[in-house]
């Protein structure tokens, strides 16, 4: 790779090497339970030529800058590091990237997105104090898109909450006799099962666990394999008998005897979880809505009527239309015989 038209000089166009850094960053794992870290990519450019590349492979592994510096070796001296996230200025699971860049003799650092993590931020200042030139704001929007959940969590100190609904056209999630399994189609159920892998946790209430005995796993890890799917979280004070599928030892489960959604989210934030799937019944959904803690809705509506049964959500305080909780429809489409609607609390993404 060569950036011939723009040599490594002041006023250079850094968008193309940044695009390459973004491409590398996207190879890293998205934020889930096993990777609470952002996706980050880095290229080292010297005299218009890429002399080193790296990206972050997930929590506990070296950071993108360090991998790229190793790749560049001596060629990093006097070169420019183009990185998708502000280099960290802290010692977490690994050492500060600012010090690694300074020690390698990099003369300029080009950054797409500021690190919203208060513990790691300050990289720009540290680099400038050491006499390194810093260019910011190159392809910031694209970098943000790579790490929306991570950024949301850092800015709100809680994970983003997506509430999944699988209901009839008249808003019921179970029939009057409690059965719920055949509301949406087989295809929809398969689709919603698979999308669980993108979440750090699945949250349900004790009521749902007692009524349906769900397993809440995204996939079967297989014998002897460690499960890396979402953490199973059961919220509520009703007593759980042993033998429930959610309490088996295939995957970890966190039982939280509370009715406070904010406390649940704080506990998940503390575990490095940035995105949560709320699958609970009407009581839990109402508690999250009352606390204004539903950020997104992923609804599957089947062309089926029940006229009675368990509603998707119980009362959460809206007595008039003025008090209705209104969401913005982000998208909708076919899900086999059902319809999928995705809606957010704010106009995209926040």
Report 143-202 residues binding ligand AOF (CB under 6 A): none
**In the bound complex, what is the minimum distance in angstroms from residue 215's beta carbon to Zn ion?**
38
- What does 198 interact with, of ligand AOF, Zn ion, none (CB < 5 to 8 A by kind)? none
Q: Answer yes or no whether residue 56 interacts with Zn ion by CB under 5 A.
A: no
Q: How far, in Å, are 76, 127, 329 from residue 162 at the CA level?
A: 43, 38, 14
Minimum CB distance to ligand AOF smaller for 85 or for 277: 85
The per-residue b/e assignment along 120-154, b for 16 or more CB within 10 angstroms, e otherwise, is bbbbbebbeeeebebbeebbeebbbebbbbbbbbb
- What does 59 interact with, of ligand AOF, Zn ion, none (CB < 5 to 8 A by kind)? ligand AOF
Closest to 230 in 3D by CA, of 190, 178, 261, 271? 271
Using the rule CB under 6 A, give the single segment among 12-20, 115-123, 191-199, 318-326 that binds ligand AOF: 115-123
Report 119-138 residues binding ligand AOF (CB under 6 A): 120
Q: Answer yes or no whether residue 30 interacts with ligand AOF by CB under 6 A.
A: no
Strands 41-46 and 49-55: antiparallel
Say how far residue 261 (Cα) sits from the centre of its chain: 18
| Total residues in contact with Zn ion, by rule CB under 5 A | 3
| 9 phi/psi in degrees, rounded to 5 | -125, 170
**In the bound complex, what is the minimum distance in angstroms from residue 274's beta carbon to ligand AOF?**
10
Q: Answer yes or no whether residue 117 interacts with ligand AOF by CB under 6 A.
A: yes
Q: Answer yes or no whether residue 88 interacts with Zn ion by CB under 5 A.
A: yes
Structure tokens at 275: 């995105």
x-or-dash pattern for ligand AOF, window 232-271, by CB under 6 A? ----------------------------------------
Minimum CB distance to ligand AOF smaller for 38 or for 281: 38
**Neighbouring C-alpha atoms within 13 Å toward the C-beta of 113:** 25
Are 232 and 215 in contact by the 8 Å Cβ rule? The answer is no
Closest to 113 in 3D by CA, of 148, 138, 134, 133? 138
Applying CB under 6 A, among 43, 76, 85, 203 the residue interacting with ligand AOF is 85
Bridge partner list, 334: 339
**In the bound complex, what is the minimum distance in angstroms from residue 87's beta carbon to Zn ion?**
6
Active site residues: 65
**In the bound complex, what is the minimum distance in angstroms from residue 131's beta carbon to ligand AOF?**
19
Q: Answer yes or no whether residue 104 interacts with Zn ion by CB under 5 A.
A: no
Are 222 and 215 in contact by the 8 Å Cβ rule? The answer is no
Distance CA 106, CA 132 (A): 7
Applying CB under 6 A, among 33, 56, 108, 139 the residue interacting with ligand AOF is 56
Closest to 203 in 3D by CA, of 311, 142, 293, 120? 293
Distance CA 262, CA 264 (A): 5
Minimum CB distance to ligand AOF smaller for 96 or for 281: 96
**In the bound complex, what is the minimum distance in angstroms from residue 57's beta carbon to Zn ion?**
13
Using the rule CB under 5 A, give the single segment among 41-49, 61-69, 264-272, 278-286 that binds Zn ion: 61-69
Where does this chain bind Zn ion (CB under 5 A)? 63, 88, 97
Where does this chain bind ligand AOF (CB under 6 A)? 37-38, 40, 56, 59, 63-65, 85, 87-88, 92-94, 97, 115, 117, 120
């Amino acid at each position: 790779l060569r950036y011939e038209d723009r040599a490594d000089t002041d006023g250079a166009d850094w968008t193309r090497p940044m695009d390459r850094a973004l491409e590398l960053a996207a190879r890293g794992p998205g934020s889930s339970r096993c990777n609470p870290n952002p996706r980050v990519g880095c290229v080292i450019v010297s005299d218009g030529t890429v002399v080193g590349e790296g990206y972050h492979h997930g929590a506990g592994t070296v950071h993108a800058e360090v991998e790229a510096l190793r790749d560049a070796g001596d060629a990093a001296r006097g070169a420019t590091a183009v990185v998708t996230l502000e280099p960290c200025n802290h010692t977490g699971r690994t050492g500060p990237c600012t010090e690694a860049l300074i020690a390698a003799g990099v003369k300029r650092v080009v950054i797409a997105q500021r690190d919203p993590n208060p513990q790691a931020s300050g990289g720009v200042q540290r680099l400038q104090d050491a006499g390194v030139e810093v260019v910011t704001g190159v392809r910031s929007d694209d970098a943000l898109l790579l790490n929306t959940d991570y950024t949301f969590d850092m800015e709100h100190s809680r994970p983003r909450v997506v509430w999944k609904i699988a209901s009839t056209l008249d808003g019921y999630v179970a029939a009057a006799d409690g059965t719920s399994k055949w509301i949406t189609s087989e295809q929809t159920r398969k689709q919603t099962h698979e999308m669980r892998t993108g979440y750090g946790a699945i949250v349900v209430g004790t009521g749902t666990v007692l009524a349906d005995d769900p397993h809440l796993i995204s996939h079967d890890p297989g014998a002897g394999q460690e499960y890396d799917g979402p953490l199973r979280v059961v919220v509520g004070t009703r007593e759980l008998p042993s033998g429930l599928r959610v309490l088996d030892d295939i995957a970890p489960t966190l039982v939280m005897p509370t009715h406070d959604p904010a406390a649940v989210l704080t506990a998940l934030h503390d575990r490095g979880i940035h995105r949560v799937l709320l699958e609970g019944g009407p009581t839990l959904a109402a508690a999250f809505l009352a606390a204004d803690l539903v950020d997104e809705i992923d609804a599957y509506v089947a062309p089926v009527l029940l006229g009675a049964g368990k509603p998707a959500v119980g009362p959460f305080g809206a007595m008039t239309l003025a008090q209705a909780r209104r969401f913005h429809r982000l998208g909708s489409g076919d899900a086999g015989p059902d319809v999928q609607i995705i809606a957010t609390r704010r106009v995209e993404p926040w």
